[in-house]
Amino acid sequence: MTFPRILPVGDAALVVEFGDEIHPDIHRRVLALDHALAADPFPGLRETVPTYRSLLVYYDPRQLSWDEARRLVANALARSTDTPMPEPREVEIPVVYGGEFGPDIGFVAAHTGLSEEEVVRLHTSVTYTVYMLGFAPGFVYLGGLPEALATPRLPTPRPSVPAGSVGIAGLQTGIYGLSTPGGWRLIGRTPLTMLDLNRQPPTLLQPGDRVRFVRIG
Amino acid sequence: MLEVLDGGWLTTIQDLGRPGYERYGIPVSGAMDFFALRVANGLVGNPPGAAGLEITLVGPVLAATAPCLVAVTGADLTFRVDGREMPMWMSVFVRRGSVISFGGRRRGCRAYLAVAGGIEVPPVLGSRSTYLPGRFGGWEGRALRAGDRLPIGPVSGHLPERAGRRFPPHRLPAYSDCPTVRAVPGPQDDHFPPEGLETFFGAEYRVSPTSDRMGYRLEGPPVARRRAEIISDGVPPGAVQVPPDGQPIVMMADHQTTGGYPKIAMVITADRPLLAQCVPGESRVRFAAVDVAEAQRRYRETMEMLERSWE
């Protein structure tokens, strides 16, 4: 397989795949194309969804055929390599770790062989990148979790996880935007409003943002 | 105002959805059968995206606190005004104090009720659609229940004169209990061996009783896969995901915006209303492969026909 490749996604979307792995360089190329399309949108472009290694592009099939849409996106792709990207934002997320806000911190400690204190220290020791928002409204997927903290998901998801919960699933860490069912191991919670439907954009974090967790409480 | 005397099984306010927010994890939502909602709105003189009611399987009981013009389309749930059955796919004048109700279900899953002026709840991110899992949009983010009082937007002209407008039956989609739904293979069709694609496009699937506005789970011959998972990426409505058990799931209006199961095919937009009218636990469905150009022709035809119908 050679990347990038542009594939049709039904009659109203296409996807540009940049690779087949989770890697910061691949993600940067996803964001570069997203940025190029936002900076100079073509008529008929509806919306884009950046994810780990691909960009989903919705277009209006009454204005553009698949061939036309593919050509316009290929042009933007060529342009995107030399479009300057804005500096990523740096955002601090305050988190109360453990206790009732992080009911799985004990499991994470036991699983990783660390103390709860070391789990917190490691989790707050690095800068993460927002890879994508998805699955549910405002859920933030972060890359860069120290490998020592990797812990599998719950065998059975909780019926309800409070908004703002910070969790670990495998090598990922993430933040719940809304109260939803969820299977990530919860280690803490932020008091920040991650999703506000009266705000534009509605989420506090955007793909590409750099995030540091800060312990409070 | 429409006063809800009984909410029915699952009645929600829906318009054509809130596009533009999938990058924030917020699905488009909106009417599952966009065709039926657009026609209902057209019959009462609304713009196509006005908010109406999506009525699932068992209809509500509604009292009109003022005269209004309504139209019911989609599933046939025996539409009645003051106990008398009224035609569907037609604008109907409802007097002040009259009661709209529904009898038994004859066919389909979702009926749509549009009222001239539209249902005027406050929009959330540009749409009045209810998104039940997120508990936002529509009426307090939930299904209607007794005691809710739905405000109706302003209307002009003499309403009784606008009653009796019909949508020609020969222009309806091929609604059926066992429809053949067209789908474009991909975007991850290369994650499936040839026999996986043959199974999916050859077999008949039952729509599982656990299907809902988020997704239609299908039961039938398991689809063989080459690779278990993909790295999570964007999932549009209409995407057919195949999880490890090989039983396909079609993403519907309230779909999750990203996912890690390979997508074998995309249901064409023009045929999504056929799927929306499939009854969980009852309907059976087959898929037929078409290419993108064909899918786009069908979409343009459908939209042009819908627009021509109101000239």
**Cβ separation B231–A53 shorter than 8 A:** yes
Residue B272, amino acid: R
Residue B147 has pLDDT above 70, yes or no: yes
Average pLDDT over residues B267-292: 98
Instruction: Pick the residue from chain B with its C-alpha nearest to A58.
Output: B236
User: How far from chain centre, in Å, is Cα A12?
Assistant: 24
Question: How many other CB atoms sit within 10 Å of the CB of residue B172?
Answer: 15
Q: What is the three-state SS of chain B?
A: CEEEEECCCEEEEECCCCCCCHHHCCCCCCCCCHHHHHHHHHHCCCCCCCCEEEEECCCCEEEECCCEEEEEEEEECCEEECCEECCCCEEEEECCCCEEEECCCCEEEEEEEEECCCECCCCECCECCCEHHHCECCECCECCCCCCEECECCCCCCHHHHCCCECCHHHCCCCCCCCEEEEEECCCHHHCCHHHHHHHHHCCEEECCCCCCCEEEEECCCCCCCCCCCCCEECCCCEEECCCCCCCEEECCCCCCEECCCEEEEECHHHHHHHHCCCCCCCEEEEEECCHHHHHHHHHHHHHHHHHCCC
CB contacts of B24 in chain A (<8 Å) are: 133, 137-138, 195, 201-203
pLDDT tens-digit readout, B20-65: 999 999 999 999 999 999 999 999 999 999 999 999 999 999 999 9
Please answer whether residues A140 and A194 qualify as being in contact, where contact means their C-beta atoms are separated by less than 8 angstroms. yes
Distance from CA of A121 to the nearest CA of B (A): 29
**Where do the structural domains in chain B lie, given as residue ranges?**
2-171, 180-308
| pLDDT for A150 | 96
**Cβ separation A47–B23 shorter than 8 A:** yes
Under CATH, what is the fold of the domain A5-80? Gyrase A; domain 2 (3.30.1360)
Which residue did the predictor score with more confidence, B308 or B67?
B67
* Distance between CA atoms of residues B282 and A186, nearest Å: 39
The average confidence (pLDDT) of chain A is 96
Q: Which of B36-45, B156-165, B223-232 has the highest mean pLDDT?
A: B36-45
**Cβ separation B266–A10 shorter than 8 A:** yes
pTM (2 d.p.): 0.96
Under CATH, what is the fold of the domain A90-216? Cyclophilin (2.40.100)
Under CATH, what is the fold of the domain B180-308? Cyclophilin (2.40.100)
**Cβ separation B233–A141 shorter than 8 A:** no
Which of A7, A13, A47 lies closest to B20 in CB terms?
A: A47
Question: Under 8 Å CB-to-CB from A2, ≥6 apart: which residues?
Answer: none
Distance from CA of B290 to the nearest CA of A (A): 10
Could you report the predicted ipTM of this complex, rounded to two decimals?
0.96
Please answer whether residues A79 and A73 qualify as being in contact, where contact means their C-beta atoms are separated by less than 8 angstroms. no
For an interface test with A, which of B258, B263, B264 has the most A Cβ atoms less than 10 Å from its Cβ? Answer: B258
CB contacts of A159 in chain B (<8 Å) are: none
**Where do the structural domains in chain A lie, given as residue ranges?**
5-80, 90-216
